[in-house]
Structure 1
Amino acid sequence: MKNNYLLALLSAFILWLAWPPIPFSSIFLFIGFVPLLIGCERVMRSTLTKKGKKIFTLAFITGFFWNTASIYWVFNAMNAYLPTWISILISLIPFGLAPLLMAIVFRLYYQLRKRNSIFLSSLGLVSFWITYEYLHQMWDLSFPWMTLGNGFANFHQLIQWYSITGVYGGTLWIWLINLLVFLVVWQRISKTTSVSTKKLLISISAAILVPSVLSIIQYTTYEEHINPSEIVVVQPNIDPYGKFGSIPPEEQLQNLISLSDRVAKPNTEYFIWPETAISARGRIDEEEFRTHAAYDQITNFLEKYRNGNVLSGIESIRRFAYQATPTAQPYGNIFIDSYNAAVLVDGSSKLQFYHKSKLVPGVERMPFGGALSFMKPLFDHFGGTTGGYGSDPAPTVFYSASGIGAAPVICYESIWGDYVAQYVKQGAQFIAIVTNDGWWKNTSGKDQHLQYAKLRAIENRRWVARSANTGISGFINQRGDIIQKTAWWTPTALSQEINLNEELTLYTKLGDVLVYLSLIGSLLSVVLLLKPKSK
């Protein structure tokens, strides 16, 4: 059994090696699960007892070490303010939750293998896996950071067809090749030939080459429709741990304006400022923002730019006479709801607000109806609120006076492919990501977050303008190429002429069709599990 544990660890190492931000290493994803599958097969064919538990353990080991090595920066963010032991305990939730779900998938695979052929069982394994990934982006502890299809973010030339399938197409591709390679290796180990090795090798070659070649052709021949717009992204480089205390909001705003002015052109149409860039002591009431000094500063700044608009993150509140939302908190004889929001200021009296919908569990909202509310004080340092943030139920597209539609995507929301596609479906012509990646310090977290934005560009064939408080800000074209990017922890601004796009990709129109097929596959697999054994 010891060798099987080593195989599980080998899988974890290969998957970590293949994961962003390590460049061009994504091809190792094609063999990442092979050692684990071999270990599981050895357990199934052994005389060991409690085989299901042992397979569960092997899968958990792979998932835990792969996840922990890839998202270690979660601990860094916590440990900046919390004691080490508390940081470790909290970090174990994202480190261990996805591996737990992965292990359940493999346990179900084992149950299928006891009754069915390896072909049917493999279909069930892939269906269960994609279903798990989808559910892990839908429930209260959602964290789809490690969705398998995200792994190709650093080799985007190979996955241009995400404009059809989204990231779940990548997950399916990875699993198909892993299973074929596993069959070749296992037949060699067991000295059996249930399927011709030659046929398997041809299948592996075709499975790798056909999607890759088609993608490269699509990548090299793709041409953007010429529809230019001048955009500026600003990186003020304000330490997030000092932003809400030591640096006056007025000083922060003036810094944003100064950086914008340095690179702006007379025809600049959008200035993108990062998450919570506009703030005030006690937060800003959305109904009274026009009377706020910050609003006057922004509109005065825009007077130099005839078609200029500021799209910025903002910390805002709304007041209600009654508890209008579940997150509204009593304050005297009224209720107040707090938001991590975005605002569009266009120089007129019109304001557009969007409230972040995909809130970070724990930091921005308490999962499971507040059952974990005892942990609220631990997250106060990260800009959260005592009662949790309010949110919008759906995306909102911002429109400039000239009619340009922008998708205001706030931080964590950018890892939801289907959610970003809803903006585009509603009319967004480019994607504006506003984020504050400084919580993680100079770790791979900031790099992964940037790379994942390339996937949103490809899925929707939209330019991405990314404004990050401390880095990395930049521009990504419709093929997923990073055209410009800033250095980490550097106050700066970038200007770029992008092409707006109004056409919808198949993925934007249809969404995650592969998820629905996987749900059907999972249901059929459960039926097979529940079906009585034939005598």
Structure 2
Amino acid sequence: MRKYTPLGLALLSSILLWAAWPTSPLTFLIFIAFVPMLALADKAKSPLSYFGAAYLTLVLWNVFTTWWVGNTPIPVSGALANIANALLMVFPWMGYRSVREKLGKKAGYFALVVFWLTFEHVHLRWELSWPWLTLGNVFAQQTWAVQWYEYTGVNGGSLWVLLTNISIYELWLKYRGRKELPASYILLREAWKPLLLIVLPAAISYAMVAKARTPTGKERSVVIVQPNIDPYNEKFETNGEDPTQRFLRLSAQQTNDKTDYIVWPETALFTGGAWEHELNDRPEIQAIRVFLQKYPNAKVITGAVTLKRYNSPEEASYTARKSKTGELWDAFNSALLIDTSFNIQVYHKYKMVPGVEIIPYSRYLKFMENWAMDMGGISGSYGRTPGVEVFEDHQTKEEIVPIICYESIYGEFVARKVQLGANMIIITTNDGWWGETQGYKQHLEYGRLRAIETRRWIARCANTGVSCFIDDYGNIIAPTAYWKEAVIGGNVTPADNLTFYVKYGDYISKAAVIFSILLLIYTSIILRFIRRQNVERIKQRKS
């Protein structure tokens, strides 16, 4: 590695990161993927050269792994996402180098860990959020190794990756620095540390899988409908078969007297929008109720685009639009629970895709709303006025978390919903926007982590696939083919236990935020003051 140039190290690290990421089977490469970047701190001669090499690594990783983000009507949006996300990622690495120069290597390692975890914490919470490459997500396909996410969430996986890379880099430094000793001596004396870091968490997880118990709750019968409607060419047109009748026809293939829930995908209803106060009068809702009368236990959970009118400016949200007549209203990416009663429960999606569903911080820069993409028949940012937190099934007395598309990559967000008492999770999504790419595959895999964190069964319904069931240990059951019309039926087992992660959320990254603040205060204020005092003492002694 000593022979590598900064450019070579940057390329090597980016390739390792890309090769490790789902849906590649080479997940184990993540344990050495950052080693070249750590070596960059020794190799780069100036902060500027280090920034350039580190940024190149991160932007290539983003492009290689999430290039499909640009597979939209506005390809430049994907390029900007990759460029901007990499720029944010580089800050923890610059902090690492800075602290290392001021306080030494060990303090630098500590800084890298807490700064990176702080970055991930912030990136999950602000409106520029794009946490697709949160390090803990890398194990989404290898769920047998991260069953302990029920205690740590994906933050634990991010910490695992960082500590292992640091340990392996230190092993390499010791091997390089002791050439007078045989390699076998160094390996026997030092290699157990990174090896233990890798093996112990995986072994604990494997033991948790081995002791997994069969759920004892009463199973619920769920039917998932995958209509396979092309979101670009069919979804927002009215030609051909009536969309609602299409969904009902498909639902009838698997629905029976024992069916509890029928799930339709994101924005299945009202692609042009429907006023929430008029939902009961809509012919689509009436047709659904006629269908449900044949199946006394069944309820329909579906995606929809809904509209809400505000009675006063004080009631309106910052995303509210103004009609030509001066009325204020909002559009929502919603989920509905429909039964034979007149009580339709409406959930509003909260976690939005930046640039597609929300213009970040547009309440401060209203002109930016004009830049919003038209993806779903509604231009501008979707509203964020709360709907119901969870769906309540008055018949079974169970509560359901309706998670819409992008929300499924937010661990603590889903955990908070479960903390409210939800017994199972329904994910409705489209997954057709980015075509036959890694995007929909990675999205599917990330959902497995939510099942582990919360120990909840998931019924996942995608417009174009993949639809499936996911058990409480992250195993995918009865997956459909991508871009194929399909209807599947299966059972899920509701649960009421709360995992440690559900109770306490992202406590690891929250602790990292505190340590990051303290470290910044120390290096930028206290350390400077101490050095100034030392300089004055030296001057006094000389005088």
Indicate the residue corresponding to 2:411 in structure 1: 417
Question: CA RMSD, aligned part only?
Answer: 2.1
Indicate the residue corresponding to 2:208 in structure 1: 218
What are the within-5 Å matches in structure 2 for residues 263-342 of structure 1? 263-279=254-270, 281=272, 283-323=273-313, 324-331=316-323, 332-342=325-335
- Confirm or deny: 8 A CA contact 2:408 2:447 kept in the other structure: yes
What are the within-5 Å matches in structure 2 for residues 9-20 of structure 1? 9-20=11-22
Secondary structure class of the residue paired with 1:28 = helix
- Confirm or deny: 8 A CA contact 1:224 1:499 kept in the other structure: no
Secondary structure class of the residue paired with 1:405 = strand
Indicate the residue corresponding to 1:253 in structure 2: 244
Q: Does residue 120 of structure 1 match 2:107?
A: yes
Q: Deviations over 1:467-507 (max 9, x none)?
A: 10011111100000001111011111111111111100000
- Confirm or deny: 8 A CA contact 1:362 1:376 kept in the other structure: no
Indicate the residue corresponding to 2:349 in structure 1: 356
What are the within-5 Å matches in structure 2 for residues 137-152 of structure 1? 137-152=124-139
Q: Does residue 180 of structure 1 match 2:171?
A: no
The amino acid of 1:55's aligned partner reads Y
Change (3 A) 1:504 1:192: farther
> CA separation in 2, counterparts of 1:182 and 1:243?
52
Among 61, 67, 71, the alignment partner of 1:66 is: 61
Q: Deviations over 1:158-183 (max 9, x none)?
A: 00000000000000000111000001
What are the within-5 Å matches in structure 2 for residues 353-392 of structure 1? 353-370=346-363, 376=369, 379-383=372-376, 385-392=378-385
Among 203, 223, 232, the alignment partner of 1:232 is: 223
Indicate the residue corresponding to 1:32 in structure 2: 33
Q: How many residues align?
A: 519
Secondary structure class of the residue paired with 2:216 = coil
Shift of 1:385: 3.5
Indicate the residue corresponding to 1:154 in structure 2: 141
Shift of 1:53: 1.6
Q: Deviations over 1:333-370 (max 9, x none)?
A: 42221111111002111111011101111111111225
Q: Deviations over 1:390-442 (max 9, x none)?
A: 11458711011221211100010000000000111011111100001100001
Secondary structure class of the residue paired with 1:232 = strand
Among 70, 81, 84, the alignment partner of 1:75 is: 70
Q: Deviations over 1:153-205 (max 9, x none)?
A: 01110000000000000000001110000011123334489x97645311111
With normalisation by structure 2, the TM-score equals 0.91
What are the within-5 Å matches in structure 2 for residues 428-447 of structure 1? 428-447=422-441
Shift of 1:519: 1.1
- Confirm or deny: 8 A CA contact 2:230 2:464 kept in the other structure: yes
> CA separation in 2, counterparts of 1:437 and 1:52?
41
- Confirm or deny: 8 A CA contact 1:133 1:147 kept in the other structure: yes
Percent identical residues: 36
With normalisation by structure 1, the TM-score equals 0.93
Shift of 1:527: 2.8
- Confirm or deny: 8 A CA contact 2:370 2:380 kept in the other structure: no
Change (3 A) 1:520 1:214: same
What are the within-5 Å matches in structure 2 for residues 444-455 of structure 1? 444-455=438-449
Q: Does residue 208 of structure 1 match 2:188?
A: no
Question: Structure 1 residues 314-323 or 445-454, which shifts more?
Answer: 314-323
The amino acid of 1:118's aligned partner reads K
5+ residue gaps in structure 1?
none
> CA separation in 2, counterparts of 1:394 and 1:71?
31
> CA separation in 2, counterparts of 1:186 and 1:242?
56
- Confirm or deny: 8 A CA contact 1:224 1:478 kept in the other structure: no
The amino acid of 1:279's aligned partner reads F
Shift of 1:73: 0.7
Among 443, 457, 460, the alignment partner of 2:451 is: 457
> CA separation in 2, counterparts of 1:166 and 1:109?
24
- Confirm or deny: 8 A CA contact 1:311 1:344 kept in the other structure: yes
Shift of 1:528: 3.3
The amino acid of 1:222's aligned partner reads A
> CA separation in 2, counterparts of 1:328 and 1:379?
14
> CA separation in 2, counterparts of 1:102 and 1:293?
49
- Confirm or deny: 8 A CA contact 1:430 1:501 kept in the other structure: yes
Shift of 1:289: 0.6
The amino acid of 1:42's aligned partner reads K
- Confirm or deny: 8 A CA contact 1:431 1:462 kept in the other structure: yes
The amino acid of 2:34's aligned partner reads F
The amino acid of 2:16's aligned partner reads I
The amino acid of 2:207's aligned partner reads I
Question: Structure 1 residues 304-313 or 250-259, which shifts more?
Answer: 250-259
Indicate the residue corresponding to 2:539 in structure 1: none
Q: Deviations over 1:48-105 (max 9, x none)?
A: 3xx11222222111111111111011111x2xx34xxxx23x2222202221122111
- Confirm or deny: 8 A CA contact 1:415 1:452 kept in the other structure: yes
> CA separation in 1, counterparts of 2:488 and 2:319?
37
Secondary structure class of the residue paired with 2:40 = helix
Indicate the structure (1 or 2) with the bigger Cα radius of gyration: 2
- Confirm or deny: 8 A CA contact 1:271 1:310 kept in the other structure: yes
> CA separation in 2, counterparts of 1:53 and 1:187?
28
> CA separation in 2, counterparts of 1:303 and 1:253?
16
Change (3 A) 1:442 1:69: same
> CA separation in 2, counterparts of 1:319 and 1:458?
39
The amino acid of 1:347's aligned partner reads T
5+ residue gaps in structure 2?
536-543
Shift of 1:379: 4.2
Question: Structure 1 residues 248-257 or 159-168, which shifts more?
Answer: 248-257
Q: Does residue 56 of structure 1 match 2:51?
A: yes
The amino acid of 1:511's aligned partner reads G
> CA separation in 2, counterparts of 1:121 and 1:432?
42
What are the within-5 Å matches in structure 2 for residues 125-140 of structure 1? 125-140=112-127
- Confirm or deny: 8 A CA contact 1:460 1:505 kept in the other structure: yes
> CA separation in 1, counterparts of 2:500 and 2:479?
29
